[in-house]
Chain A
């Protein structure tokens, strides 16, 4: 089953020395990870809402929260336990959070 891992961190928190690196994680999930990327910061985000005929734009993310999505990974796992294991080992899980969302199809 495919799961989307949404990587969320509070920009003000820096990773601590000695935490595993993203490269180590990528090596580890080789074969399970179908796709993924880091995303540019919320300063470069534009949010679009269409209401009636009007297209409303706003500068910034869709919700004002402390934590923002900074990247995503799509993984193919046997079940939720495997996805949890992979997510828990993502470097950002140590100081931010990883939301696991199963694909609908």
Chain B
């Protein structure tokens, strides 16, 4: 074996550890030092040391424990040298001394708990939603500030400030670093799932964009959802969210045409859907539903599964989807859910039934979605003049260029008929 190949293997091992273990190690260091910046810097340092030492000394038997110990020792050094932080030093030394024997044989459960503590703290409702998303991506998944800024199309300085403020608030207002107690757990778990789903949607709606440098937020969201399912195996909604993201992501390759235009679900080439993702999503959903504690993510995953398992668009079980949207509207009373239910009813019982429901929602703000849905139903009912007017309204309200192009095409087609 050549030296170069050996080094490449070590580098690949370190890269894999960074992906798989970094969040856990940062989480432990934050618990030990109470200092988010210090924790991240020391973990970064530990990985740099691994790259330096492992090619000669070999990869240690327990690389995760080696990295944790190295990062912790580094934090101790840094705190010892800093006289300003004398008080903090006393704290960490006490913790660390108790910990010396423990961390040689790091307890996996403890480490899992640390990661869960970190996730819940990053998603604390006292932080803005934007800050929760940024902090989770930065601290848990290890994306750089520049990468997160690119993902959310904001200047790097803005994102850096957002992260600094969030960490300051956690420290200054003493946001507890813990998994919430039982009476807060359902609500806070819902908050964490909300952050992960927002992250997924951000990536999903942007995936037609031309900017290939934007990191793949869908993949990060799915990875975080997997982690959460590992850490909270008894939470069916976490499993529901993972299933939902997998099922939606399975359509990724078919959602945009060569010109970057959105392809409606019914017109997508189903051969390009990812069968493995669908299979995994459906299996996860079945396991979650067997627990008998349904929730919004499981219901949405069930709807996504109805689409994903229909061999052709015409095979879609619309009555079942209409029923599921009815259930979802009870759990999440939101205008967009009620609109989607109307669409499903239109598919199950005909456009007139759907239009009656849509017209009942006219007072609700749904942006361009309401007129676009009305337009489609009016077109199917042969009421062309009204349909054209509704398409026009929808186009004026559409937020993205791809959607405006899609609506323009509808108008052109309708005029040609």
Contacts and interface: CB of A to CB of B under 8 A. Distances in A.
A84 B188 CA distance: 13
Interface residues of A, number: 9
A102 B180 CA distance: 20
A29 interface: no
Contacts of A81: 175-176, 180, 184
Contacts, number: 21
Nearest to B188: A81
Interface string B126-145: 10000000000000000000
Main SS of chain A's interface residues? mixed
Contacts of B124: 80
B172 A79 contact: no
B174 A102 contact: yes
B173 A100 contact: yes
B384 to A, nearest CB: 49
A100 B172 CA distance: 12
7 contacts: A1-B174, A79-B175, A79-B176, A80-B173, A81-B176, A81-B180, A84-B126
A1 B176 CA distance: 12
A80 B124 CA distance: 10
A44 to B, nearest CB: 31
Contacts of B180: 81
Interface of A: 1, 78-81, 84, 100, 102, 104
A79 B171 CA distance: 10
Interface of B: 124, 126, 172-176, 180, 184
Main SS of chain B's interface residues? loop
Contacts of B174: 1, 79-80, 102
List 10 tightest A-B contacts by C-beta distance, closest first: A79-B176, A102-B173, A79-B174, A80-B173, A1-B174, A80-B175, A81-B176, A80-B174, A102-B172, A80-B126
Given A80-B175, A100-B173, 18 more contacts: A1-B174, A78-B176, A79-B175, A79-B176, A80-B124, A80-B126, A80-B173, A80-B174, A80-B176, A81-B175, A81-B176, A81-B180, A81-B184, A84-B126, A102-B172, A102-B173, A102-B174, A104-B172
Contacts of A102: 172-174
Nearest to A102: B173
Contacts of A79: 174-176
B408 to A, nearest CB: 44
Interface hub of B173, B176, B180 (most chain A Cβ within 10 A) = B173
Nearest to B184: A81
Nearest to B171: A102
A1 B172 CA distance: 10
A83 B172 CA distance: 13
Nearest to A101: B173
B276 to A, nearest CB: 41
A79 B184 CA distance: 14
A81 B126 CA distance: 9
Contacts of B176: 78-81
A84 B180 CA distance: 13
Contacts of A80: 124, 126, 173-176
B93 to A, nearest CB: 23
Nearest to A104: B172
A78 to B, nearest CB: 8
Contacts of B175: 79-81
A104 B173 CA distance: 9
